[in-house]
């Protein structure tokens, strides 16, 4: 794109809007879930106060950050360590035959596309 090369304010505006959108989306469910649930990690039961609340994070039970039902059923408050743990467990699950994002990606990729042909030629 070579048009409007000098027009950086437009880009700045877009970036600012995007940041605001992300902050709103994140802030929205984080705030709600912190009002809804006690400030305790759902795994290690560590308790949190305003001083260390930054370390308490909102986990999405189905790992879909866009799934935010108003009753909070998809949220779980976890400390950063347990949250990390939860996600590596999920990645193992995906890798060893679960479902989710990664499998969908692989399907569009189709690394075996040429393999079937190769087999058919041989037999
Ligand atoms: Zn924890
Ligand atoms: Zn999570």
Does 31 reside within a domain? yes
Mean pLDDT computed over 10-18:
90
Ligand lying nearest the CA atom of residue 40:
1
Does 18 reside within a domain? yes
Residue 9 C-alpha to ligand 1 middle, in angstroms?
43
Total number of domains in the chain:
1
Task: Tell me the per-residue pLDDT of 43-88, one tens digit each, with 9 for 90 and over.
Answer: 999 999 999 999 999 999 999 998 999 999 999 999 999 999 999 9
* Confidence check: pLDDT of 123 > 60: no
Three-class SS of 47-87: ECCHHHHHHEEEEECCCCCCCCCCCCCCEEEEEHHHHHHHH
How many CA atoms lie less than 13 Å away from 95 in the CB half-sphere?
A: 6
Does 17 reside within a domain? yes
Ligand lying nearest the CA atom of residue 61:
2
Ligand lying nearest the CA atom of residue 82:
1
Three-class SS of 86-106: HHHHHHHHHHCCCCCHHHHHH
Q: How far apart are CA 100 and CA 3, in angstroms?
A: 40
φ, ψ dihedrals at 36, nearest 5°: -80, -35
Does 86 reside within a domain? yes
- Please state which of the ranges 29-38, 55-64, 88-97 shows the lowest mean pLDDT: 88-97
Residue 26 C-alpha to ligand 1 middle, in angstroms?
20
Range of the domain at 96: 12-122
């Amino acid at each position: 794109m070579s048009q409007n090369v000098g027009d950086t304010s437009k880009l700045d505006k877009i970036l600012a809007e995007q940041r605001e959108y992300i902050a709103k989306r994140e802030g929205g469910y984080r705030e709600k879930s912190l009002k809804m649930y006690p400030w305790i990690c759902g795994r290690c039961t560590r308790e949190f106060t305003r001083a260390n609340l930054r370390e308490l994070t909102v986990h999405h039970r189905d790992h879909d950050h866009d799934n935010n039902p108003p009753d909070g059923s998809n949220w779980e408050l976890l400390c950063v360590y347990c949250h990390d743990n939860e996600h590596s467990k999920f990645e193992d699950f995906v890798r060893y035959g679960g479902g989710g994002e990664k499998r969908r990606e692989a399907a569009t990729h189709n690394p075996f596309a040429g393999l079937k042909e190769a087999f058919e030629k041989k037999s």
